[in-house]
Amino acid sequence: MPPTPSATPSPPSRKVALVSLRGDREFRKVRAHGQVIRTRFFQLRVTDYRPRYGEVWQPRAIIGIVVPKKTLRRAVDRNRARRRMHEALRTLPGLPPCRAILSPAALVLDAPFAELQAALGRALGSFDPKAKTKQTKPASQAGRRSEPGRPAAPAQDQP
């Protein structure tokens, strides 16, 4: 006997596709304009989703996972951390449309999977696309540089 549909239909869950962030240009844009969210498991730099020029509007999560050698020396560990984070993102319900760079810490290898998912969910849920991300320098200090370890010299007015 075929199963009968329930009397109350379940609301359609809006599933957002997970795509990898590709190309230096996309990474630079996220680094320049992204909001940084840090947890003990990872650092997440997020910007809101905007389609490229000429691209159709398809809200999706475009996330690049970057594991530097400074964090994990062995390639096996870097790949394992990357796979764990990708699977946690893939199985996370309610992924918001965004562009992001995810840099996992060494703790990712030993952390319980449910804890990783919870941390990712909290971090992506706390992202506010309307928040101001970068402080701009005043015009008087925009082109001035100082030596490392020394404060910038005060501006001198010429007559």
Q: How many residues comprise the chain? A: 159
* Higher-scoring residue by pLDDT: 87, 155: 87
Which pLDDT belongs to residue 51? Answer: 78
How many whole angstroms separate alpha carbon 43 and alpha carbon 45? 7
Residue 155 has pLDDT above 80, yes or no: no
How many whole angstroms separate alpha carbon 80 and alpha carbon 148? 37
DSSP code, position 142: T
Contact yes or no for 111/41 (Cβ under 8 A)? yes
Helix (H) or strand (E) holding 134: none
The string of pLDDT tens digits covering residues 104-152 is 999 999 999 999 999 998 998 887 766 655 544 444 555 555 555 555 5
Residue 11 has pLDDT above 70, yes or no: no
Give ∠ CA 128-132-138 in degrees, rounded to 5.
175
DSSP code, position 140: G
Q: Which amino acid is at 45?
A: R
Q: Model pTM?
A: 0.69
The string of pLDDT tens digits covering residues 23-75 is 898 899 999 998 999 999 999 999 988 877 787 888 888 899 999 999 999 99
User: Exposed (0-12), middle (13-18) or buried (19+): which is 88, by Cβ within 10 Å?
Assistant: buried
How many whole angstroms separate alpha carbon 93 and alpha carbon 115? 14
How many whole angstroms separate alpha carbon 76 and alpha carbon 66? 14
